[in-house]
Amino acid sequence: MTNSPQTPGLAAARLPAETIIAGFANYDPAMQPHEAAVAADRCYFCFDAPCVAACPTDIDIPLFIRQIATGTPEAAAVTILSSNILGGMCARVCPTETLCEGSCVRETAEGKPVEIGRLQRYATDVAMQSPQPFARDTATGKRVAVVGAGPSGLAAAHRLAMRGHDVTIFEARPKPGGLNEYGIAAYKATGQFALREIDWLLGIGGITLECDTALGRDVSLETLRRDFDAVFLGVGLGGVNDAGLGAPNGVLRDAVDFIAELRQTADLSALPVGRDVVVIGGGMTAVDAAVQSRLLGAENVTIVYRRGQDRMSASGHEQDHATASGVRIRTNAAPVALHRNGSGAEIEFAYTEDGPSGLQHLAETFRLPADQVLSAIGQRLSVMPDGLIVAGGKIAVTGPGRSALPGVWAGGDCTDEGEDLTVSAVAQGRDAAEDIHAWLMGKDHG
Domain count, the chain: 3
263 plus 331 within the same structural domain: yes
| Listed residues 330, 355, 377: the one ending a domain | 377
Residue 73 lies in a domain: yes
Looking at residue 323, which CATH number applies to its domain? 3.50.50.60
Same domain, 352 and 246: yes
**Does residue 370 carry a pLDDT above 70?**
yes
pLDDT at 248 over 80: no
User: Which pLDDT belongs to residue 58?
Assistant: 97
C-alpha gyration radius of the chain:
22
Same domain, 247 and 360: yes
Q: How far apart are CA 410 and CA 189, in angstroms?
A: 26
Q: What is the pLDDT of residues 63-121, one digit of tens each?
A: 999 999 999 999 999 999 999 999 999 999 999 999 999 999 999 999 999 999 999 99
**Minimum mean pLDDT among 354-363, 405-414, 419-428: which range?**
354-363
DSSP 234: -
Q: What percent of the chain has pLDDT over 90?
A: 84
CATH of the domain at 122: 1.10.1060.10
What's the rounded Cα separation, in Å, for the pair 86 and 201?
A: 8
**Cβ-Cβ contacts under 8 Å for 372 (sequence gap 6 or more):** 3, 9, 10, 251, 253, 273, 274, 276, 277, 278, 293, 298
Per-residue pLDDT at 241: 82
Q: What is the mean pLDDT of residues 112-131?
A: 97
pLDDT digits (tens, 9 = 90+) for 223-232: 999 999 999 9
Better-scored residue on pLDDT, 370 or 26: 370
Helix (H, G, I), strand (E, B) or coil at 201: helix
Q: What mean pLDDT comes out for the span 303-316?
A: 94
Residues 167, 276 within the same domain? no
Using alpha carbons, select from 332, 420, 409 the residue that is nearest to residue 160. Answer: 409
Separation between Cα atoms, residue 213 and residue 129, nearest integer Å: 31
Q: Do the Cβ atoms of 296 and 261 come closer than 8 Å?
A: no
Rounded Cα–Cα distance for residues 331 and 307 (Å) = 6
Q: Are residues 267 and 385 in the same domain?
A: no
Please tell me whether residues 246 and 354 are part of one structural domain: yes
163 lies in the same domain as 284: no
HEC sequence for 112-124: CCCCHHHHHHHHH
Task: Flag whether pLDDT at 11 surpasses 50.
Answer: yes
Cα–Cα distance measured from residue 62 to residue 43, given in angstroms and rounded to the nearest whole number: 7
pLDDT at 21 over 90: yes
Angle formed by the axes of helices 151-162 and 193-202, to 10°? Answer: 20
Contacts of residue 422, Cβ cutoff 8 Å, sequence gap at least 6: 86, 89, 90, 93, 94, 151, 179, 180
Name the pLDDT band for 4 (thresholds 50, 70, 90): very low
Q: Are residues 222 and 283 in the same domain?
A: no
The residue-averaged pLDDT of 119-139 equals 96
1 part of a folded domain: no
- Decide if pLDDT at 262 tops 60: yes
Question: Same structural domain for residues 234 and 245?
Answer: no
Q: Which of 56-70, 274-288, 350-364 has the lowest mean pLDDT?
A: 350-364
Domain for residue 111, yes or no?
yes
- Give percent of the chain above pLDDT 70: 97
Alpha carbon distances (Å) from 35 to 1, 44, 91, 376: 45, 17, 16, 37
Of 354, 377, 400, the residue at which a domain comes to its end is 377
User: Is the same domain home to 352 and 310?
Assistant: yes
pLDDT beyond 80 at 186: yes
pLDDT at 383 over 90: no
Judge if 248 and 196 occupy the same domain: no
Query: Is 296:290 a contact under the CB 8 Å cutoff?
Result: no
Average pLDDT on 419-441 reads: 96
Beta-bridge partners for 408: 231
Report residue 392's pLDDT band, with 50, 70 and 90 as the boundaries.
confident
Q: Which domain holds residue 366?
A: 241-377
Establish if 420 belongs to a structural domain. yes
Q: Which of 284-293, 297-306, 340-349 has the lowest mean pLDDT?
A: 340-349
Backbone angles phi, psi at 402, to 5 degrees: -75, 130
CB atoms closer than 10 angstroms to residue 134: 16
Q: What is the mean pLDDT of residues 115-135?
A: 96
Band of the pLDDT at 443, cuts 50, 70, 90? low
pLDDT of residue 372: 94
pLDDT at 307: 95
pLDDT at 436 exceeding the cut of 50: yes
Is the domain of 367 the same as that of 385? no
Strand partners, 11: 273
Is 337 inside any structural domain? yes
**H-helix or E-strand spanning residue 78:** helix 73-83
* CB crowding 341-357: b at 16 or more within 10 Å, else e: eeeebbbebbbbeeeee
Is residue 445 domain-resident? Answer: no
